[in-house]
Structure 1
Amino acid sequence: MDEKLKEVIFRQVEQEPFAKALKMELVQLDDGFSAVEMAYEAGVMNNMFGRAHGGAIFSLIDEAFETVCQTVGSVTVALNVAVNFVASPEAGAVLRAEAREVNSTKKTATYDIKVHDQNGVLIAVCQALAYRTGKPLPFL
């Protein structure tokens, strides 16, 4: 992967307001691969049942999806995201979303995204479809 592109994507995530609000951190990035981590803060990220809100987990998935899509160097946007929640993390868990490109064409790409906690417990699985606009990344 182009080092300049990698540096720019890391910088964009560090500056992104939503990622900052949820304290998400891009920890690994390569062609067709991204890993993003976030601590599950029970007091802030709980739903009405006192468990992890699906929106918090989805946000972590979406950040990994967003970053892996941009490794092609052009604006790529979500078309569809299907998530299955398979477990609820424990309070204080460090969650890691790993996104991997499964297939790509000139205009679309599919991704497999999995969320695990720090003990390797599977929390969510996702299949996502992206559209490649062909437009240059505005922050390059």
Structure 2
Amino acid sequence: MDALKALLNNDDRFCRYNGMRIDVLRLGYAEAVMDITENSLNGLGIAQGGSIFTLADLAFAGAANSHGFRTVGLNSNINFIRPGVGRQLRAKATEVSRGRRTCVYRVEVFNDDGKIVAHGSSTGFITEEKF
């Protein structure tokens, strides 16, 4: 798990550049965090929706790849519930279903107060390629 965590945190250049990182990683589950900075805000002064979606996608990547096979996203959806404000956002991805070639994860994003900011789901395609 440590090697996968390091790989995702180092090799996902977009997330690294935007201050996102995997914080917790275990089989079928991951948490990713993003510090809210001036660069992650939209014109209303709240976390930009794309940054929230990317954070959720990073958590999905950690959880889906935790089984040791390269997994890529097939479909994702997200519902924004409240503004992304505070110091940090945390996305949690939890495995719902995992088959031979596809998997489904529930993803939720929370603010500093533990209030839900967004929720959605991501479906992945599991390749035969091992890490």
TM-score for the superposition, normalised by structure 1: 0.87
* Corresponding residue number in structure 2 for 1:39: 35
> Where do residues 14-29 of structure 1 align in structure 2 (5 Å cutoff)?
14-16=9-11, 17-29=13-25
Query: Do residues 103 (structure 1) and 97 (structure 2) align?
Result: yes
Computing the radius of gyration from Cα coordinates, the structure with the larger value is: 1
Q: Give CA deviations for 1:72-120 in whole Å, capped at 9, x if unaligned.
A: 1111000000100101122x42111000000111010000000001211
**Map 1:1-140 → 2, pairs under 5 A:** 6-16=1-11, 17-41=13-37, 43-90=38-85, 92-137=86-131
Where does structure 1 lack aligned partners over 5 or more consecutive residues? Answer: 1-5
Runs of 4+ in 1 over 4 A off after TM superposition: none
Gaps of 5+ in 2: none
Give the number of equivalent residue pairs: 130
AA aligned opposite 1:126: G
Percent sequence identity over aligned pairs: 28
Counterparts of 2:2 and 2:44, CA distance in 1: 40
The DSSP-based 3-state class of the residue aligned with 2:109 is strand
Matched letter for residue 92 of structure 2: E
Root-mean-square deviation (CA, aligned residues, Å) is 1.2
Secondary structure of the residue aligned to 1:87 is coil
